[in-house]
Amino acid sequence: MRTILIVGGGYAGFYTAWKLEKKLRRGEARVIVVDPRPYMTYQPFLPEVLAGSVEARHAAVSLRRHLRRTEIVAGRVTRVDHAHKTVTVRPAVGAEYPLEYDIIVVTAGAVTRTLAIPGVTEHAIGMKHVEEAVAIRDRMLTAFDQAAGLPPGPLRRKLLTVTFVGGGFSGVEGFGELLALAKALVRRYPELSSDELSSDELSFHLVEARDRILPEVSDKPGEWVVRSLTKRGAHVHLNAHLLSASGGHVVLSTGEEFDSELIVWTVGNAANPMVHNHTDLPIDGRGMLLVRPDLRVGTEGAPVPEAWGAGDDAAIPDLAAERPGVSTVPNAQHAVRQGKLLARNLIATLRGREPRPYVHHSLGVVATLGLGLGIFQFHRLVIKGFPAWLMHRGYHALAVPTWERKVRVLAVWATAVPFGRDIVSLTSVQHPREAFLAGANPRMPEPAETADARVDIVTAGDAPRS
């Protein structure tokens, strides 16, 4: 039996394996997915995870639960040696080991692009993974709790200042959702919603190097999004580069400077370093896997036998584009469809049939800008505001894989209608032993909370036992 090894169980990898499970005959091939994460991240839900409208766990689609006939290997592929049909796997625990295959599918996705700007690696946080979305939300909620105990002033202002760097699709969605959450939160904090909280104090900045945001929509709808965010109190800095974020002090090329507690980095994708540096498969000048329209690795005249690729790590000719020589853009619309076609094409070649080329005409763009507000564009048709937001939710409720996920997400959306969103920060989960240790050893050094908490610990420990 032949072994098909899929590197990366994200969008493209998950759908490839899912389709292979459905279409392969019993005993026809063994399928393995290698991924350090036990789940596929439904990234379009991350902006709503930020806002608390989608539970973090619901944006994670379990590989083991939904890929029942696939072997799941928890580990990171550190090298692909296609000449010897072997990958090197680094598990979370233990030494690296080789894994042999007959056919490889490379769907390792992209990574967040970073730039050498002072302070960014120390202070900024990306928005590509569930843990990042949870941390962004928790940090803002914690900042509100901290600010509520402070008098108006520079520290309180810093705590209430949020900066997103990068006005692309995910940046604008995350920014709009977090802004909506912050506006709703202020009502729960009487200390902050008094007159003393001037509009300057709760301050949201979106920094974009180009002269427009959301390049996925055309100019006019893009301008509408800027106006809509500005009307909601946001500062949109166009033609502005981030020069420094050292110590959380943001300096822009426009001369503007401000302190910001939360800096979210959404400047787009870079090639996956494993694909770029550690395979003997062909890559292009940007470090992307060279993939043919039929999703086999290689060029038009020279396919690499037994190697396939799809998704954000691959440069795939876009046969639906008006201009020749263009690659498919990195988005879920393509990754899902490429994954499904890849599985069909792979099975076709196993059975001696010809693979088909990948052609997909965009279904348009739909983005959330915060609770009840969105934008949709399909060619010249533009829909704004509440109807677009409903379309966004409807589309993603249909698109998230498996009925189990759909029902869970819909249930959270439904319960939010009467009860609203949860607004507690759980940053304490990062120090789960703190409370336990404080209880077990009452004379240990204080856990650095408040003076009142210290009194409680000493009193409880010293109290005579009856």
Ligand X SMILES: Cc1cc2nc3c(=O)[nH]c(=O)nc-3n(C[C@H](O)[C@H](O)[C@H](O)COP(=O)(O)OP(=O)(O)OC[C@H]3O[C@@H](n4cnc5c(N)ncnc54)[C@H](O)[C@@H]3O)c2cc1C
Q: What is the smallest separation between the CB atom of 126 and ligand X, expressed in angstroms?
A: 8
Considering only CA atoms, which of 280, 325, 320, 284 is closest in space to residue 304? 280
CA dihedral (24, 27, 29, 35) in degrees, to 10, reads 90
- At 169, which helix (H) or strand (E)? helix 169-186
Q: What is the smallest separation between the CB atom of 112 and ligand X, expressed in angstroms?
A: 8
Kindly tell me which residue out of 18, 19, 51, 107 binds ligand X, with binding defined by CB under 6 A.
107
Site for ligand X in 297-316 (CB under 6 A): 311-313
Site string for ligand X, 30-59 (x = CB under 6 A): ----xxxx-----xx-xx------------
Cβ(52)–Cβ(174) below 8 Å: no
- At 105, which helix (H) or strand (E)? strand 103-106
Taking the C-alpha atoms of residue 185 and residue 172, their distance in angstroms, rounded to an integer, is 20
Kindly tell me which residue out of 108, 251, 281, 383 binds ligand X, with binding defined by CB under 6 A.
108
Cβ(373)–Cβ(224) below 8 Å: no
3-state class (DSSP) for residue 57:
helix
Kindly tell me which residue out of 60, 226, 250, 332 binds ligand X, with binding defined by CB under 6 A.
332
Kindly tell me which residue out of 4, 5, 7, 159 binds ligand X, with binding defined by CB under 6 A.
7
Binding flag, residue 355, ligand X (CB under 6 A): no
Binding flag, residue 272, ligand X (CB under 6 A): yes
Q: What is the smallest separation between the CB atom of 8 and ligand X, expressed in angstroms?
A: 3
Q: Which is nearer to ligand X, 128 or 292 (CB)?
A: 128
Q: Which is nearer to ligand X, 73 or 202 (CB)?
A: 73
Tokens of 5: 């090894």
Taking the C-alpha atoms of residue 12 and residue 335, their distance in angstroms, rounded to an integer, is 5
| Residue least distant from ligand X (Cβ) | 10
Binding flag, residue 91, ligand X (CB under 6 A): no
Taking the C-alpha atoms of residue 161 and residue 14, their distance in angstroms, rounded to an integer, is 38
Q: Which is nearer to ligand X, 127 or 304 (CB)?
A: 127
Total binding residues toward ligand X, as defined by CB under 6 A: 34
Binding flag, residue 374, ligand X (CB under 6 A): no
- At 73, which helix (H) or strand (E)? strand 71-74
Taking the C-alpha atoms of residue 409 and residue 255, their distance in angstroms, rounded to an integer, is 43
Taking the C-alpha atoms of residue 227 and residue 446, their distance in angstroms, rounded to an integer, is 49
Kindly tell me which residue out of 91, 215, 330, 364 binds ligand X, with binding defined by CB under 6 A.
330
Q: What is the smallest separation between the CB atom of 152 and ligand X, expressed in angstroms?
A: 33
Q: Which is nearer to ligand X, 306 or 312 (CB)?
A: 312
State CA 218 to chain mean position distance. 24
- Provide CB contacts within 8 A for 458, sequence distance 6+: 442
Binding flag, residue 170, ligand X (CB under 6 A): yes
Q: What is the smallest separation between the CB atom of 16 and ligand X, expressed in angstroms?
A: 9
Q: Which is nearer to ligand X, 108 or 140 (CB)?
A: 108
Cβ(32)–Cβ(3) below 8 Å: yes
Q: Which is nearer to ligand X, 34 or 281 (CB)?
A: 34
Q: What is the smallest separation between the CB atom of 28 and ligand X, expressed in angstroms?
A: 24
Report DSSP state, residue 465: P
Residues at the contact surface with ligand X, assessed by CB under 6 A: 7-13, 34-37, 43-44, 46-47, 76-77, 107-109, 127-128, 169-170, 272, 274, 311-313, 330-333, 335
